[in-house]
Amino acid sequence: MQELLGKTARREAPQPPDAVLTATARDLEGLVASHPYLVVDCWAPWCGPCRRVGPVIEALAGEFTGRIAFAKLNTDENQQVAQAFGISAIPTILLFANGRLAGRITGAYPLEMMRAEILGIFRLG
């Protein structure tokens, strides 16, 4: 037990996962706080453009493993988040850097354009 506690105590900041997380109103603040760079895809199941963005987000999550965390937030199930961030159209991608909203992308962008937008907002190369 002490060995496990020691490993937990020495743990560095969590590394972004290579899989896309599921965000909710309840845990969004914790996700933002625990990931230096977080991309949140705000979507709804009935939204055609949102379904086109899903695979783009998944591909980018794999590409940026260890650098940027990615999450999906269903706006139908988390309407208070949509209201809090003034989301009036989906898909809307919220980008958080160091605990603060750094930018947003609205619309269904293809992979290359989404990558360029994210890197530009985060100022990563």
Active-site positions? 47, 50
Q: What is the DSSP track for 91-113? A: SEEEEEETTEEEEEEES---HHH
Residue 68 amino acid letter: I
| 3-class secondary-structure state, position 115 | helix
Contacts of 99 (CB under 8 A, 6+ apart): 32, 33
